[in-house]
A and B are shown apart, each in its own frame.
Chain A
Amino acid sequence: MSEAKKEQTTTHKIGIYLWIWGLLFVLSFFSYMVDWYQFQGLLRWSLILIFMFLKAGLIMAFFMHLFWERYALVNVLLWPMTAIACFVGLMVAEGKYTLFSRIFYFFVGGQ
């Protein structure tokens, strides 16, 4: 890199990093509180997922700078996640079927 190009490298204000850092601490604290207060059922699962996705989004967007990257890179990285989402959906169905057949044949027997 030439000297002229080096000077063009812009950085972001330190405030934004400190904000994201603080938010990550707060969100981690909240997700720990989900376990501390022993929330159960749908409330527990939805809270865990909300805090998880918020934390993951903040880390990727600001710490990994995806918020400032060009869409050509961002889209190449994020679209493959839909394949993982499909895989999760398939395996949820498969897991239910496996559990069903295990319990079913336990009572009905083989043959």
Chain B
Amino acid sequence: MSEPKIEGYKFKPGYSGMAADTASDQTMFKGVHWGKAMMWIFLLSDTFIFSCFLISYMKGRASTPVEWPNPSEVFALNAFGVPVPLLLIAIMTFVLITSSGTMALAVKYGYERNRKMCGWLILATALGGLTFVGMQAFEWSKLIHEGVRPWENPFGAPQFGSFFFMITGFHGTHVSIGVIFLFIYAYKTFAGHYDEGKRGWFTSMKGDYVEIEILGLYWHFVDLVWVFIFAFFYLW
């Protein structure tokens, strides 16, 4: 976010800057808070986990001679007596993007030290996430009611259920954890912990609005993963 300044070090732009930063016998990610760098590295490892899930889904779907259930029909929802394809999934997608937008604005207002605005936007993000998890629970119970199990389902290839529960379940867990942290951070923001530099509960680190950006990175990642799940699992 900020233009980094380090005394006695001249920043170069672009790839020559990358080479200089990496070879400078100092910290490599200059101007990046260590918590932010660690969050990025965690997200990178999480990317690999989700990639493994999606790749195994691709391989499972590609290697079965049995017809794959048509997600457009499986996830259709009756609206006013008419089956609308993927209705719930589309709403879930829009809810998650909305919450991602409020999170981005919360980060911006946090850095501008606008405590109230930042807090309300984090709260809005948390409520969006909660709505998403609620709709996912509804979707799960609907499919379980229709007889979808990890080992069988009435629509087609039996692998469908195991991939569905594994992938959306793991993503839903991420959303749930994110919602818990969003509520905690909303409280901490309203209480002014980031304005006063109050130390955290599990860390001696002084509170700063950079923590909102770190939380934001996690939340945007959850949205990012949903973009891929939406494309590959629901649309493909």
Q: Which residues of A contact B (CB under 8 A)?
A: 1, 6, 8-12, 14, 17-18, 20-21, 24-25, 28, 31-32, 34-36, 38, 44-45, 48-49, 51-52, 55-56, 59-60, 62-65, 68-73, 75-77, 80-81, 84, 87-88, 91-92, 94-96, 98-99, 102-103, 106
Contact B220 A88 (CB under 8 A): no
Contact A8 B2 (CB under 8 A): yes
**Chain B residues positioned under 8 Å from A45 (CB to CB):** 236
Q: Which residues of B contact A (CB under 8 A)?
A: 1-5, 11, 14-15, 17-18, 21-22, 28-32, 37, 40, 44, 47-48, 51, 55-56, 58-59, 61-65, 72, 85-86, 90, 93-94, 97, 100-101, 103-105, 108, 111-113, 206, 208-209, 213, 216-217, 220-221, 223-224, 227-228, 230-231, 234-236
Contact A32 B86 (CB under 8 A): yes
Contact B111 A63 (CB under 8 A): no
CB-nearest residue of chain A relative to B50?
Answer: A84
**C-alpha spacing A87/B112, complex, angstroms:** 42
Contact A70 B17 (CB under 8 A): yes
**Chain A residues positioned under 8 Å from B100 (CB to CB):** 21, 24, 59, 63
